[in-house]
Amino acid sequence: MAESPSRDLPWVPRNFLALPEEQSALESSRVVLLPVPYDSTTSFRTGARYGPEAIIEASSALEDFDWELDLDLSEVGIYTAPLLEPHVGYPGVMVARIREAVGSFLAQGKVVGVLGGEHSVCIGASQAHLARHPEMSVLYLDAHADLRDQYLGTPYSHASGARRIHEKCPLVLAGLRSMCQEERDYIRANAIPAFFWPPVGGDEQAFIRQVVAALSPEVYLSVDLDVLDPSFMSAVGTPEPGGMSWQQINNLLRAVAQERHIVGFDVNELSPKEGPAACSYIAAKLVYKLVAYCTLVRDRAHGS
Ligand SMILES: [Mn+2]
């Protein structure tokens, strides 16, 4: 039998935040991060398949403590699941695979965050959450509307994620700044709450109030990193100028966490080879904040 590595040597654990076993074992962890290295339907710049591992690697450089939120996230317990193998034959099979994987962790009572991958991973991930939270709505943060009925021959592409979600539950779009005419017509015909960026009159407080008011008490959060400005988040498949700053997205997400219950999330479209290494670090820090918003920030806001 092989000997286990000596505990006296300084091993760096390969998981989110490089947490020791006590803070990253499945049994004792409140949160599961599920990496999905999938980008088979990506059209413009591929490479989101490398996103999850880049986020996990960069996260080892983050502090466990967050001075802004005044908390230490390591106490939550975060289990980093193995990579979910992509199915490249038919995108619908991948949707079902992600739904099953996420559902299996939800059945164990875990809070699940999915690390994409292209944005279509939100379809299966949101469906798994909807099965447990039938009244939830989805807050979809993206520069794009992703409301095409089909794209490049499949209904399960990265360009159709929001459309597939809207067929199952209430959808709120925020950070929008690019769409095709079909998508604009679909938003109008279905009266989908859609909040463009920059906010009307530059009024961020009104933007936050309106987004929060459009959400149900339970919220699933789906983030395409291209909602952020490409001046600091250029490593995305489809960069779109004029996006949110770091403070702006955090102000919005913190308000949602305090006034609603974020039941789970996905973060997508980091394509590390398309930008500086800082992008992976920033994406990792956003994942850190999201885990905090789903757990300790919520606990504090609701007095538990
Ligand atoms: Mn997008």
pLDDT digits (tens, 9 = 90+) for 210-242: 999 999 999 999 999 999 999 999 999 999 999
Q: How far is the CA of 101 from the centre of ligand 1 (A)?
A: 24
Please name the amino acid found at residue 249.
I
User: How far apart are the CA of 177 and the centre of ligand 1, in A?
Assistant: 10
Asked if the structure places residue 249 within a domain, the reply is yes
Could you tell me the pLDDT band of residue 304, with boundaries at 50, 70 and 90? low
CA–centroid distance, 238 to ligand 1, in Å, is: 6
Dist. CA 151 → ligand 1 center (Å): 14
Q: Are 289 and 73 in contact (CB under 8 A)?
A: no
Quickly state the pLDDT bin for 192 (edges 50, 70, 90): very high
Ligand 1 mean position, distance from CA 66 (Å): 28
Provide the phi-psi class of 261: left if phi over 0, else alpha when psi is between -120 and 50, else beta. beta
In a domain, 19, yes or no: no
* 70-116 tens-digit pLDDT: 999 999 999 999 999 999 888 999 999 999 999 999 999 999 999 99
CA of 144 to the centre of ligand 1 (A): 4
| Interatomic CA distance for residues 78 and 35, integer angstroms | 13
Q: 76 alpha carbon to ligand 1 midpoint, in Å? A: 30
Q: Residue 154 falls within a domain, yes or no?
A: yes
CA of 227 to the centre of ligand 1 (A): 7
Other C-beta atoms closer than 10 Å to the C-beta of 20 total 13
Residue 233 resides in a domain: yes
Q: What is the pLDDT of residue 213?
A: 98
Q: Is residue 16 part of a domain?
A: no
- Residue 10 in domain: no
Q: Looking at residue 162, which CATH number applies to its domain?
A: 3.40.800.10
Domain encompassing residue 171 = 33-301
Tell how far the Cα of 178 is from the centroid of ligand 1, in angstroms: 9
Q: Is residue 148 predicted with pLDDT exceeding 90?
A: yes
Give me the number of domains the chain comprises. 1
- Tell how far the Cα of 295 is from the centroid of ligand 1, in angstroms: 26
d(CA 274, CA 234): 7
Dist CA 184 CA 291 (whole Å)? 32
What is the SS3 assignment for 240?
Answer: coil
Tell me whether strands 171-176 and 137-141 are parallel, antiparallel or unpaired: parallel
Q: Quick count: other Cβ atoms within 10 Å of Cβ 245?
A: 14
Looking at the predicted structure, is the pLDDT value of residue 1 above 70?
no
Residue 290 lies in a domain: yes
Is there a domain that residue 111 lies in?
yes
CA of 156 to the centre of ligand 1 (A): 15
